[in-house]
Every structure is written in structure tokens, then in C-alpha cells.
A and B are shown apart, each in its own frame.
Chain A
């Protein structure tokens, strides 16, 4: 048994603990990196040398540098991230929609409706009064303005939602390309054990970004390559990355593969929220709102046509609103030019205000879906408010679960500086001891040399 064996063992030990210190340094450097999973060095003894009847230990070596991650926890985080992103995005968008009604601000649509119908009630007190007639024109102009604004705002928002959907699809495409590149590197690196853990971190970070956009199915092969599909469409693996474009499927905004045209069935993630708001929430609310305003305009016109104007000569059969098209409610130009064209009278005398009263009373008549205009409008606003609140509550609940899962992940995978400092001390002492052993072996060898 040669003394040089001690040198070999010590040298291996020094290299082992130096490598362990490298890993610890890497951990400490990434202590604040949220996408980093701590790495752990596992040691094992080197296969012993059999000398005669004895089996002599040959020192220590690194068995593996493992990445500490709970796969089940990661899967749960992905699923919850998709749900949270969908509800959070939808909640933000619904808050914008409800904001366009401008209720509770004193300048909302209900205030304009109130003013408009009340101005007719006021005119009935003095049907020949020009100031009161002008008051009707002014309140009608305010009403048409808020109706037009609502439609323009909601249309602009829908266009912006489309643009955001488009940008998110670009982001998905970029992430899929990145994932493909990472997958390739992982496949190439497997077996060499060089930097594989950091590649896996990058892979997980990219998948996490994708989960924010849509509902994913993720499977890993033995090499660690991720096979990802979005909304049921194969999206990325080690053979390539699918590229998506914006498309419409079954009247719903979605993303389709650029080559085959396969549509992703988006159920979660920001893309699903954007799609739902673009394809369902905005069109339904706009349609409902416009149908209600159209019913109001038709009812007002119907009564107004029965009345007699104050003009000279007086006329009947005049419509108050000339048209309601493309979300623009327009007042009869004749009335805008001369408020005496307002038909307040139902008799041959100018001072009769019965028609003004009839129009004022339309506000309390069930003229749309067996409800009054006010009831319909209130129900519409409450309904949007309810949906926004429900979505916000769901997003809060998702966030709570996601926070807990991420907290659990931090407990398992994040770096504890205290722990790493303890490891540094341990490895340093082991390194010192190995160095000391070399010194002892050197002295032993010196003693033998001096004997010669």
C-alpha cells in the first residue's frame, strides 16, 4: 500500500469539496432569483480498493448535483397560474366596461336619461315656453352624446382587446420558439451533466410564462424535454415549435396554427379572457344597450308623431330622433334648428302639454323586454357589476391559492443563505482536513526519504 494513495484520496477530496463550494456559491448568487431552483450536492464514497483480505476506502466523490423541485407542486402552480391569469385579466377588462357606463359619477347614462324625460315633464307646465323647449333639445343632445360616447368607447376597447390578443399570441410564439431552443439544448446536454439544471430552470420559466397565456398540457420525457400543447394543439417539443396566428372559430376569437389552421380551445389564461370579452361580453352588452336605446327612441318617436308642433303652421307626424345607426343617436335636424318643432300638444291649442306628459311618462312604461328603460339599464349595469365582482373574487381566490403554492415552492426550491453558509463552513472544513492530510502524507514521505 503506497503513501501516494493518501495523496490521491486527498486530491480527489479537495476537488470534490471545491466543486461543492462552487455549487454553494451558485446557490448563494441566485438566492434572490425567483426562477431558480436550488441545487444540492450529493456525495458518495469512491469504490474501495481490494488489497489482500482488506477492502480499503478510496475517498469521496460527487454522486450528483440535483435540482430540488416538487413536480406535483409545479403542475399545480401551472394550472392555477392559468386560472388566475384568466380571471385577473377578465376582471380588469370588466372594470373598464363598467367604467364606460359612468354610473355613480353623476355624469352617467342614467343621469342623461333622467334629465331627458324630466325635461318633457317640465315642458308640460308651460308648453309654449321656448326656454323649456330648448331645455329638451339640450338634454337630448347630452343623451345622444353619452350614447355615442359609450358606443365609441366600447368599440375602441374591443379593438384594443384584439390588439392585446394579437400581442399575446406573438408572445406565445416567442416563448414556444425559446422553449424549442431550450429543449434542443437539454436533449444535447443530457448525459454530459453540464449545466442541465440551469437549462431546466429556463425551461420551467418559459412554461410558466406560457401558462399565463393559456391552458397548457405539459409532459416531460426522460431527457427533461418538455412537450407542450396549448388548448389541445401541440405547440412545442424537441422537433419544433408551432407558430400561431389570430383567428376566428365559431364566432370566437382564438389562435390557430399558421400552417394547418388548427384552432386552440382556450379555456384559461389571459388569451381566454381576452377572447371572451372580445367575442361575448362586449358584443352582448353593446347589443343589449343599443336595443334598449332603440326601443326608447322608437317609443319617443311614436308619441312625438302624434303631437302637434308650435311652429307656424303647426304640423304633426314629426319624429324626435331622426335615426339610430352604428351607435349614433341623432336628433331630428328640424327640431335642432327650431325648438318649436317639438310636438307637445295633443289638441289644436298650443298651450296643451298632454303629449309632453305622455313622452315624460314613457320613462315609467315597460317599453323594452317588459321592463322600463330605467329597470333595463339598471339591470344591465348591475349585471356587469356582478360579473366584474364575481371575477374579481375568483381572481382573489386563485391568487390566494397561487400565493400558497408559490410560498410552498419557495420553501422547497428557493435558496436559504443560512443553509448555504452552513454548507460553506462544512465544505471548507472538509477541504482544510484534506489539505492537512496531504501535509501529513508529505511528512510521512519526507520521513522515509530521510531514512535513505
Chain B
């Protein structure tokens, strides 16, 4: 093999360039913490990363949706329990009234029922985050209102049966509200509000509540208990989904990390190795490239 100055110089330059290029790549990986800078670095991994990012991003949205839905449902549950308690109080009052026979006591009971009625009506019109809890999907106005003229409670909202559905996973659009129609039924005079109004008016007039009226309230409360339990069950399902999605995201982050994250220990070892090679290459180049026969003539 004939060794010329140019071939020797090119050989040294190639060696230096190669080592410096590898060193620069590793330094970039270490300083950015990622080994995937362009799709061409690993096209298959890029496809996976786009997919992982989409799922992670969707899951983060589902988690936000779950947080919003859960607070809405929890509030709904509290209100349902409150309404249940108020109706229970009314039933208790009516039970104690049936044991007395004085009209003065009826008057006191009427006042208590009236207060409970106001309470229940107010609770039924509760809002959470600008949304009425029991108005279905019509949030334009309070679902129920007391009409002084007719002395009756009427349904304000056009439709209180609407279901509010929230996407909590890629396959689940979860119903997150308890529509007013499911717990209050039709506001047609036989509902809980108007029954309480009738009982109050009767008591004021010294008339004891009828068995049907008491049964109607008991039936309402039983339904409320069932709906509260159902809502609790849905809430548990939502929390279970939240946990599942959180775990999914942790796993997805791990998988994405395997495709993108720099293996620091390995990269640092490689960097040291290439750095050593580069220093050796500099040393060898400076030792041999300057030598020629001229130095000895």
C-alpha cells in the first residue's frame, strides 16, 4: 500500500469527523434527554409516539371530564340526601301530628311543613357550576317554581328529563346527572312539592294528612333513596375509571419513554468512550501527520 500525504490526511480527517459526529449526537441526546429528535431518527417509534401522545392527551381530557363530572355528581348526591332528610323530617312531623288532635298543634305542624317545603324547593333548584342539578339538560332557568296565583308548584324548564352525558373513556359516554323527572316525576299535583303544599294547607284548615298523601311522600323518599344509591354506584364507577385511566397514562408514559428517553448511563459511558477515542485521534494525528523524510535530511 502506497501511503501519501493526502491519503494520510484524509484518513485522519475521516476518523476525527466520524468520532466528532458520534460525540455530537450523544451530547445532543444527553442535553435534550431524548433520543428521538426527528421522525427519521426512528420512523416506527415516531408513529408510536404520535399514537401514545394522542392517547395520553385524550386520557388527560377524560380525567378533567371525570373531575368535573364527579364534583357535579357528588354535589347532586349531597342535595338528594338533603331532600331525602327533609322529606323524612316532614314524615316524622306528620307522624307526630297524627298522634295529636288539637288544631293548635296542626298549625305548628303546618308551619314546619311549609318551612320544609321551601327548603325542598330550594334544594331542587340547586345549581352546580351554572348547571341546575335536577333540570335535565335545560339550564336556562330554575326547574321548579312556586306559583302564588294557583298556589301550586310548576315546572319552569321545558324538559327536565334530559341526560347529561360526559365522555370518561374512549368507549364510555357516562350519564352524570339524575334528571329531575326521575326523582320528582311529573309536576302534576301529585308530586312531592304539591303534596306537601296540600298537606300544609289541610293542616292549616285543621285537616289531618290522608294516608295516600303520607304514602306518596314515603314512596318519593324510597325512590330518592334508590336514585341516590344508583348515583353513588355511578360515582364509584367513575372513580374506578379515573384510577384505570391514571394507571393507563402511567403505563403509556413508560412506553413512550422507552421510545424517546435517553438512556443516560449508557449515553454517558458512550460519550466518555468516544471522547477518549477523539483525544487519542488528536494525539495520533499531531504525532504522525507532521512527520516526513524532510525532518531527517
Assuming A115-B57, A381-B46, is B131 touching A126 (CB within 8 A)?
yes
- Which one of A349, A385, A407 contacts B38 once the chains associate, using CB atoms below 8 Å? A385
Q: Which of B1, B51, B68, B159 contacts A411 (CB 8 A)?
A: B1
Q: Provide the residues of chain B in CB contact with A126, threshold 8 Å.
A: 68, 129-131
A124 to B140, CA, bound (A): 17
B185 within 8 A of A: no
**B252 at interface, CB cutoff 8 A:** no
User: Which of B148-156, B160-168, B213-221 is found at the contact surface with chain A?
Assistant: B160-168
Q: How far is the CB of A452 from chain B (nearest CB, A)?
A: 46
Given A353-B165, A382-B39, A385-B39: A374 touches B50 (CB 8 Å cut-off): yes
Name the contact of B137 in the complex, choosing from A121, A351, A403 (C-beta under 8 A). Answer: A351
Contacts of B57 in A (CB 8 A): 111, 114-115, 118
Per-residue B-contact encoding for A199-224, CB less than 8 Å = 1, 0 else: 00000000000000000000000000
Query: Is there an interface contact between A357 and B165, defined as CB atoms closer than 8 Å?
Result: yes
Chain A count of residues within 8 A CB distance of the other chain: 66
**Interfacial residues of chain A within 74-120, with CB under 8 A of chain B in the complex:** 94-95, 98-99, 101, 103-104, 110-111, 113-115, 118
> B1 — which chain A residues lie within 8 A by C-beta?
411
B37 contacts partner chain A, Cβ-Cβ < 8 Å? yes
B9 nearest in chain A by CB position: A32
Chain A residues lying within 8 Å of B166, measured Cβ to Cβ, are 124-125, 353
**Does A442 sit within 8 A of B, measured CB to CB?**
no
CB of A414 within 8 A of chain B? Answer: yes
Contact of B294 among A125, A129, A388, A421 (CB under 8 A): A421
Residue A417 CB within 8 A of the other chain: yes
Given A351-B136, A353-B165, does the pair A382, B6 have CB atoms closer than 8 Å? no
Q: Flag if B46 contacts A382 (CB, 8 Å).
A: yes
Q: What is the CA–CA distance of A101 and B42 in the complex, to the nearest angstrom?
A: 15
Q: Identify which of B58, B139, B292 contacts A417 (C-beta below 8 A).
A: B292
- Interface hub of A118, A128, A348, A386 (most chain B Cβ within 10 A): A118
A417 CB contacts on chain B under 8 angstroms: 5, 292-294
Query: How far is B129's CA from A99's CA once the two chains are assembled, in angstroms?
Result: 43
Q: In the bound complex, how far is the Cα of B294 from the Cα of A421, in angstroms?
A: 7
Instruction: Choose among B3, B14, B34, B46 the residue that contacts A416 (Cβ–Cβ < 8 A).
Output: B3
Q: Is B167 a contact of A382 with CB atoms below 8 Å?
A: no
Give the top 4 A-B pairs by smallest Cβ distance, nearest first: A385-B39, A410-B7, A385-B43, A351-B137
25 contacting pairs across A/B (C-beta < 8 A) = A104-B39, A104-B49, A114-B54, A114-B58, A115-B57, A121-B65, A125-B65, A126-B130, A348-B159, A349-B139, A350-B139, A351-B131, A353-B166, A357-B167, A378-B46, A382-B43, A382-B46, A385-B41, A385-B42, A389-B40, A407-B10, A410-B6, A411-B1, A417-B294, A425-B297
Q: Mark A residues whose CB is within 8 Å of B.
A: 31-32, 34, 94-95, 98-99, 101, 103-104, 110-111, 113-115, 118, 121-122, 124-129, 345, 347-354, 357, 360-361, 363-364, 374, 377-379, 381-386, 388-389, 392, 403, 406-407, 410-412, 414-419, 421-422, 425
